Amino acid sequence: MKIFLTYVLFFLSYTLWAQAVFIKKQQLDSIVVLVKNTPKEAERKPEEIVAYFRQHFTSDYSLVAALYVWTALHLVYDDRAFNSQVYPSQEALSVFKARKGVCAGYSNLFTYFCTLANIQCLTVRGFAKGYSYSPANPKVNHDWNIVYLSTDTLLCDVTWGSSYASNVNGKAKSTSRLQTFWFDTPANEFIFTHFPLESIYQYNTPVLQKKEFDALPKLESSFFMLFHSNSTILKELMNNKSLQVVDVLNTNTEYEGKDVPYTATLNKNQTYRFTLYSEDITRMAIIEEGKWTYIEPVQHTFTIEFKSLAKKITLCVLHPSGKYYTLLHYTLR
């Protein structure tokens, strides 16, 4: 009876969690669709954009999300300016007209949009573990935003939400890709990649020092899509410097995880049970010493459970293209 009750509670827990994930994703997806279909005549001036979104969203949160998405979709990163270190004006109206900028331009335009909407927004300067970041360089390298609503404080990086950079022949090359993860990012996740010059903008307890920030692993959106439900990761990594986190490999799919083990090493003969929600993944597989065990979803939610004596466990996902990609790889001891 106790075992049955445990399974019932676990099922109810992941069902409620999956519903919450779906509602949030559905809300953001609907905002993205509306923004993508904004009439051209409503995009001639920043004031027109704000007014148009005001007509369609009743909450400040949804309005700010729409402004974030519009900025991320309509600006391109100015690789030429970044690579040459010769920057045109990054003032909001200049960036709006040019439809391109670097991080300062992205954050300035987003701040300007919010100001027009009578929503308080700050541009924050600091260090970010992005392209070419070096802990030895004392110069700040990034700008992002903090939005203050009546009920919440939002950490946002519209630059990272717009594109990512790769090294091509020794120079930065940006690729546009909308990522809503960097809108309203939890503070205990944001701190792994963003360190503000002024500690009051960390919104973490305890406040981290720069050397502690640099010592943290670079955990990005792909990691936290799986592990954001675990609010103790930062604390545990701070308390145990030797703790190794599992690598989350890029599968080019969207997912959300709950109770997923985040340490690279797991215990043999111990039961692990967790859930993963995705509308893109159609099947998962656990590979244990060459043996494949397939997992089918229930309402887009996968329930993964294993107890193994093997040395290694690999979790793969079936991509819509029909190919399997490795998502997680654990060592068992």
Q: What is the pLDDT of residues 150-177, one digit of tens each?
A: 999 999 999 999 999 999 999 999 999 9
pLDDT at position 17 is 43
What is the mean predicted confidence (pLDDT) over 268-289? 92
- Spatial distance between the Cα atoms of 324 and 321, rounded to a whole number of angstroms: 9
- pLDDT greater than 90 at residue 24: no
Q: How confident is the model at residue 14 (pLDDT cuts 50, 70, 90)?
A: very low
CATH of 17-216, one of 3.10.620, 3.40.50, 1.20.1070, 1.10.40: 3.10.620
- pLDDT greater than 70 at residue 103: yes
| Rg of the chain in Å (alpha carbons) | 21
How many Cβ atoms are within 10 Å of 318's Cβ, its own excluded? Answer: 19
Q: Residue 115 half-sphere exposure, CB side, CA atoms within 13 Å?
A: 11
Where do the structural domains in the chain lie, given as residue ranges?
Answer: 17-216, 232-333
What's the topology of domain 232-333?
Answer: Immunoglobulin-like (2.60.40)
Contact status, residue 83 vs residue 171, Cβ threshold 8 Å: yes
pLDDT at position 251 is 64
Beta bridge partners of 172: 167
Q: What is the dihedral of CA 94, 95, 100, 105, to 10 degrees?
A: 130
Task: Supply the pTM of this predicted model.
Answer: 0.87
pLDDT at position 106 is 98
- pLDDT greater than 60 at residue 1: no
- pLDDT greater than 60 at residue 321: yes
pLDDT at position 255 is 83
**pLDDT one-digit tens code per residue, 178-227:** 999 999 999 999 999 999 999 999 998 889 999 999 999 988 888 888 88
